[in-house]
A and B are shown apart, each in its own frame.
Chain A
């Protein structure tokens, strides 16, 4: 009995520790991304033809590109816009998607069916294809790319919130809530929402990384950020011609993307455990 309790306690402690570590890592990441110009050793857009295609060295940690720009500085500065955009978009879209999903899941009916069919249709589009269509209509650019991704990604939140709500609605405590005299609005806000939010937060945290990756792919295709903006997708795209001679131009932005996705996924994962009160 006592042993069991100790084990549980230490498990909780482990979960908390992991969460704090991941939160710290994420905070460091975000600070680096947002204040990159303070940390970057060089100007990310200033060309220096004399230093063209230098391999990584003490002076240029990640080497330089064709125009002699410092890859390390460009990578640092490339995260900021992408992160801010993704973060704002995901915040907006998760609130919207969750509200729509919860209403659909709770009240059901024709409106629910119509909205969910619409969601199915949206989900049938690969996001790149969709973004190309939006770029075709609104023109290429970061904002338009973010809008295109946002138009698709609310569906994930809506679906998740809907299915959670539909199953929570059938649980005993919702029936009990009616005996507590709770109105439908109150049931949604006080009984269902707290049980939906943890999953949504986890999903949102993970989606930030995913969206940054998607933005990079769109930039790679020339649909979001344009050269000479320091942006990872743009950088990978520019590096194609030098894959053999200057692989660092491609490896480091790729690595940055990889780390981004991993950081946000791990962070999301640690939030999931942290918010699970039963653990």
Chain B
């Protein structure tokens, strides 16, 4: 892959939280991946596997314990406040809960104007025009500009947040489960809207989600996480056919059997989840893997290339 195509390069990223009594919790455990220009990389995994932590690390909200994050060639992990501000001009985030993303005492109009003012993009007049244009793209009208967040529905508010994220025309969008706080009936709507905007704009995207079915139709590549580790990275198109990791396969199976209820937690696997606290250096999936052997409990499998662009971490492949 050409180095110039890379927008985000994450290498051996680790985040350790203290878990009390001197114990530790590795929320993100030596993860490496890249996101290319205009590409949508989906991150999927069950609750608590470290997806949000990963998003917070990548955007510099949280400081990494070790590892490197290069965004457009710049180091996010060691960036100061000023550098982060400059970087965020090109790296935006959409949060899970739209309701908590807007100050209850700020009108939508002020909220949407903020990035233009703070980054000195253009004058107020022009900003207003651009905002109207953006709003029509997310199918809202200018009436909502005078409203306060509590006067909009969750779906409308999330569309406002989406509009805001696109307003700076960033190079990378980090989306942390942008629909899971919404009513089921509008989730699809918001997602499709987001997808059309994203593909239309050519903005790269790190898309965190816990719905495999949805993600495979949506993204270019999928990264599957399990308890802080990357278990597989694969092209979305090949996901159904070529996935090799037992966990990914398990997920795909459960997807076939369980009706695709989007709010159902992503656990159709038998066996106990390992405790994430003070987890040993093994294959974290060993307690539930049907093929687990002795070695899996003692050693950690490295992420290896199965075919070009398809990586998996399992001793069996």
Contacts and interface: CB of A to CB of B under 8 A. Distances in A.
B146 interface: no
A14 to B, nearest CB: 19
A277 B150 contact: yes
12 contacts: A173-B100, A173-B102, A176-B161, A177-B103, A179-B88, A179-B92, A180-B111, A180-B164, A181-B88, A190-B106, A277-B105, A278-B150
B89 interface: yes
Given A175-B61, A181-B88, A278 B104 contact: yes
A172 B157 CA distance: 14
A228 to B, nearest CB: 49
B179 to A, nearest CB: 16
A38 to B, nearest CB: 41
Contact of B85 (A173, A175, A181, A191): A181
Interface in A250-276: none
Contact of B118 (A171, A173, A176, A181): A181
Interface of B: 59, 61, 81, 84-85, 88-89, 92-93, 95, 97, 100-106, 111, 114-115, 118-119, 148, 150, 161, 164-165
Nearest to A172: B100
Interface string A167-195: 00001110111111111101000110011
A181 B150 contact: no
Given A180-B115, A194-B106, A173 B150 contact: no
The SS class assigned to the A binding surface is: helix
A180 B118 contact: yes
Contacts of A181: 85, 88-89, 114-115, 118-119
B286 to A, nearest CB: 36
B184 to A, nearest CB: 19
A195 B59 CA distance: 26
A277 B104 contact: yes
Contact of B103 (A179, A183, A194, A278): A194
Given A182-B118, A278-B150, A176 B104 contact: no
Given A176-B95, A194-B105, A171 B114 contact: no
Nearest to B164: A180
Contact of A195 (B101, B104, B148): B104
Contacts of A180: 111, 114-115, 118, 164
A247 to B, nearest CB: 50
Contacts of A194: 103, 105-106
A173 B148 CA distance: 13
B173 to A, nearest CB: 11
B122 to A, nearest CB: 14
A186 B88 CA distance: 16
A52 B230 CA distance: 93
A195 B150 CA distance: 14
B103 A195 contact: yes
B61 to A, nearest CB: 6
Contacts of A186: 118
B100 A191 contact: no
Given A180-B118, A181-B115, A173 B103 contact: yes
Nearest to A181: B118
B74 to A, nearest CB: 16
A172 B118 contact: no
A181 B121 CA distance: 11
Nearest to B88: A179
Interface string A123-157: 00000000000000000000000000000000000
B118 A175 contact: no
A172 B95 contact: yes
A177 B164 CA distance: 11
Nearest to B118: A181
B101 A173 contact: yes
B208 to A, nearest CB: 16
Nearest to A192: B103
The 5 closest A-B pairs by CB, nearest first: A181-B118, A172-B100, A194-B105, A180-B114, A173-B103
Contacts of B59: 179
A173 B105 CA distance: 11
A152 to B, nearest CB: 30
A194 B118 CA distance: 18
A171 to B, nearest CB: 6
Nearest to B102: A173
A155 to B, nearest CB: 26
Nearest to B121: A181
Given A172-B95, A179-B59, A195-B105, 8 more contacts: A172-B97, A173-B102, A176-B95, A176-B161, A178-B88, A181-B118, A194-B103, A277-B105
Contacts of B92: 179
A181 to B, nearest CB: 3
